[in-house]
């Protein structure tokens, strides 16, 4: 194993916006970013600027008359070209010494840290994140770089294997080849950075297709990669429609793997397309797919109800419920059900919703008109299935706003209990007892995050054993996984359980080679 040169990993501290100096600095960053609104971003392929003329206009979801950035969309033909060029670049890039790639990765972290407030501001304007949510996203992006740099140091060079008499035995990790990286818009920096950096630090060539909702943030990250020393042939940012460009990238015989985070349906489609061997293809493509969630918080009869209410509230409505880890089902023991709702509903109604650039708002807009429409339709379904106790009220403003909505008396068969809504809509179900609550929690095709509020150690032991989710939390919210401490990834239709930010993750981007020499 290579000698570690980096200090022990530590999570990036969050900015405290209650400090006047930090608030002023953020206001300045917002102003600076606004001055760049409407800029045009050409495609950059192997250092060449390309303008296809087919434009993608990214708007501010808090104020839809503002254009954040204008991007040129790639074509299927360009996508083919990029895979061929990336394949040709792989031998050179993969031969870069590990320590150089680690150095570039740490430098990328440093550059994002240096521009942290600016990145925060881009996330406020393009993704509709409030200041603290934006800062958590950017901090996580820095964490991924720092953590994976250290992981690559650990995985560099020969790994410990048994030495047979008369032989010198080794096992080393080598990169896979050309990887297609497809992130979602909801962690437009953290997930984009995590999947891209994992690809690059391990020596793969990355083709990154950002979400059409957040292309400007991706363009800013591409600037960071180049400034950190990653050569233009090591990665391409290929902005374009998932349908037009995605299939070409996924199906190309020279694509070696796909690293995807997004919805269940798109993930399943990618998995299916990638499984079909194309003429000339000489490997089985690897698919790393992290997908949706329908995450539950179980509230036991014996629990601190105020803490449970607050935990459900932040998990359900933080970033407008648009987190794969968001609590969309609260499953509450019948003994405390009415009391729980009586405490929860007024707190949800008191949440301030509005422009995410205004730090007085706890919730900003949802990402797009389409998302808003789909969420409102689910609220209509929910009103028929259960009892509306908060929300479904208009929010003024020129953005895609949806009020925090709670629908009680929901049963396991109901659509809003089973389907991912991806917005500020919480279904509340009554459980007969703790056993029933666990059954309800597991009554889902998904298995991403979950939490239990309980003071009963036996119940917590039972949940540890039987609550079938990739990330389980006790007496705390079910969102906010921290790199290093909470390796993140789900079971069943939530994905391939890749455990981002954990010690197993980089192995997904590597393959092991065993070398034995007679001595
Ligand atoms: P999405 O599936 O609509 O899009 C994800 C990405 O796939 C985007 O970049 C999109 O352009 C691309 N895409 C769309 N069609 C494609 C195709 N045919 N081929 C290739 N790429 C294609 O998801 P979204 O709306 O961006 O994100 C929200 C979803 O992501 C939710 O379901 C959420 O739960 C999930 N998510 C999961 C995790 C996790 O770690 N499990 C984390 C964040 C988000």
Low-confidence ranges of the chain (pLDDT < 70): 1-3
Q: If 0-12 CB within 10 Å is exposed, 13-18 middle and 19+ buried, where does residue 79 land?
A: buried
Asked about 324 being catalytic, the answer comes back as: yes
H or E element that contains 446: strand 446-447
CA of 264 to the centre of ligand 1 (A): 8
| Residue 372 CA, distance from chain mean position | 20
pTM confidence score: 0.98
Nearest to 448 by CA among 182, 261, 222, 229: 261
Query: How far is residue 504's CA from residue 498's CA, in Å, rounded to a whole number?
Result: 8
CB 483 within 8 A of CB 147: yes
Interior CA angle at 54 toward 52 and 56, to 5°? 120
Q: Which helix (H) or strand (E) holds 98?
A: helix 98-114
Is residue 327 part of the annotated active site? The answer reads no
Q: Are 331 and 303 in contact (CB under 8 A)?
A: no
- Decide: 475 and 307 in contact? Cβ < 8 Å: yes
The residue from 107, 126, 151, 324 that is catalytic is 324
Structure tokens at 421: 């809504």
Q: Please provide the size of the chain in residues.
A: 519
Sign of CA dihedral 123, 264, 416, 382: positive
User: Bridge-partner residues for 453, per DSSP?
Assistant: 299
Cα–Cα distance between 390 and 424 in angstroms, integer? Answer: 11
Cα distance between residue 441 and residue 435, in whole Å: 10
Residue 123 contacts residue 189 (beta carbons within 8 Å) = yes
- Average pLDDT of the chain to the nearest whole number: 97
Nearest-atom index, ligand 1, CA of 212: 11
Side-chain half-sphere exposure of 109, counting CA atoms within 13 A = 25
CA distance 464 to 450: 11
Residue with tokens 């979950």, as numbered in its chain: 450
pLDDT of residue 193: 98
Which of 71, 194, 262, when mutated, tests ligand 1's pocket best, judged by the most ligand atoms within 8 Å of its CB?
262
Candidate from 198, 221, 263 with most ligand 1 atoms within 8 A of CB, to mutate: 263
- Exposure letters 166-177 (e unless 16+ CB within 10 A, then b): eeeebeebebbb
pLDDT in the model for residue 244: 87
Set 140, 151, 213, 290: catalytic member: 290
With residue 139 as reference, give the H or E element that holds it: helix 131-155
- Residue from 491, 510, 513, 487 nearest 500 by CA: 487
Q: Which residues have a Cβ under 8 Å from the Cβ of 434 and sit 6 or more positions away?
A: 298, 300, 301, 333, 454, 456, 459, 462
The pair of structure tokens assigned to 512 is 């092991």
* Cβ(251)–Cβ(275) below 8 Å: no
Kindly report the protein residue whose alpha carbon is nearest to atom 32 of ligand 1: 263
* Residue 97: half-sphere exposure toward Cβ, Cα within 13 Å: 4
> What is the rounded CA–CA span in Å between residue 39 and residue 53?
14
CA dist list (Å): 95 to 91, 318, 515: 6, 43, 18
The radius of gyration computed from the CA coordinates of the chain, to the nearest angstrom, equals 23
């Amino acid at each position: 194993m290579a000698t570690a040169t980096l200090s022990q990993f530590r999570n990036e501290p969050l900015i405290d916006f209650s400090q006047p100096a930090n608030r002023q600095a953020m206001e300045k960053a917002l102003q600076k970013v606004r001055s760049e609104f409407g800029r045009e971003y050409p495609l950059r392929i192997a250092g060449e600027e390309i303008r296809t003329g087919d434009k993608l206009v990214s708007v501010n979801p808090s104020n839809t008359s503002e254009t954040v950035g204008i991007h040129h969309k790639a074509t299927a033909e360009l996508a083919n070209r990029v895979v061929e060029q990336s394949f040709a670049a792989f031998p050179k890039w993969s031969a870069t010494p590990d320590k150089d790639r680690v150095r570039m990765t740490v430098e990328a972290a440093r550059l994002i840290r240096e521009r942290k407030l600016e990145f925060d501001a881009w996330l406020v304007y393009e993704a509709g994140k409030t200041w603290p949510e934006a800062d958590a996203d950017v901090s996580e992006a820095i964490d991924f770089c720092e953590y994976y740099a250290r992981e690559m140091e650990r995985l560099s060079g020969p790994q410990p294997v048994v030495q047979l008499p008369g032989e010198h035995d080794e096992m080393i990790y080598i990169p896979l080849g050309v990887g297609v990286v497809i992130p979602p818009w909801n962690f437009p920096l953290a997930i984009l950075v995590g999947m891209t950096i994992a690809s690059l630090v391990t020596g793969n060539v990355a083709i990154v297709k950002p979400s059409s909702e957040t292309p400007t943030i991706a363009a800013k990250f591409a600037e960071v990669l180049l400034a950190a020393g990653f050569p233009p042939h090591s990665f391409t940012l290929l902005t374009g429609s998932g349908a037009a460009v995605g299939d070409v990238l996924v199906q190309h015989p020279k694509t070696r793997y796909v690293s995807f985070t997004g919805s269940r349906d798109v993930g399943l489609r990618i998995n299916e397309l990638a499984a079909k061997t194309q003429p000339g293809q000489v490997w089985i493509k690897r698919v790393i797919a992290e997908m949706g969630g329908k995450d539950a918080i179980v509230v036991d009869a014996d629990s601190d109800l105020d803490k449970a209410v607050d935990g459900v509230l932040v998990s359900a409505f933080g970033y407008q419920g648009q987190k794969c880890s968001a609590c969309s089902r609260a499953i509450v023991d019948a003994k405390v059900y009415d009391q729980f709702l009586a405490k929860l509903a007024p707190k949800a109604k008191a949440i301030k919703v509005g422009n995410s650039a205004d730090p007085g708002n706890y919730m900003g807009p949802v990402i797009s008109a389409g998302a808003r429409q789909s969420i409102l339709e689910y609220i209509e379904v929910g009103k028929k299935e259960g009892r509306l106790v908060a929300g479904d009220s208009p929010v003024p403003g020129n953005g895609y706003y949806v009020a925090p909505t709670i629908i009680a008396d929901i049963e396991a068969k109901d659509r809003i209990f089973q389907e991912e809504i991806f917005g500020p809509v919480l279904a509340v179900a009554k459980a007969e007892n703790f056993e029933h609550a666990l059954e309800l929690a597991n009554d889902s095709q998904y298995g991403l995050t979950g939490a239990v509020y309980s003071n009963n150690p036996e119940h917590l032991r039972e949940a540890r054993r039987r609550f079938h989710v990739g990330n389980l939390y006790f007496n705390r919210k079910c969102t906010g996984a921290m790199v290093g401490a909470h390796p993140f990834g789900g079971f069943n239709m939530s994905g391939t359980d890749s455990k981002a930010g954990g010690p197993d993750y980089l192995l997904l981007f590597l393959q092991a080679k065993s070398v034995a020499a007679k001595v």
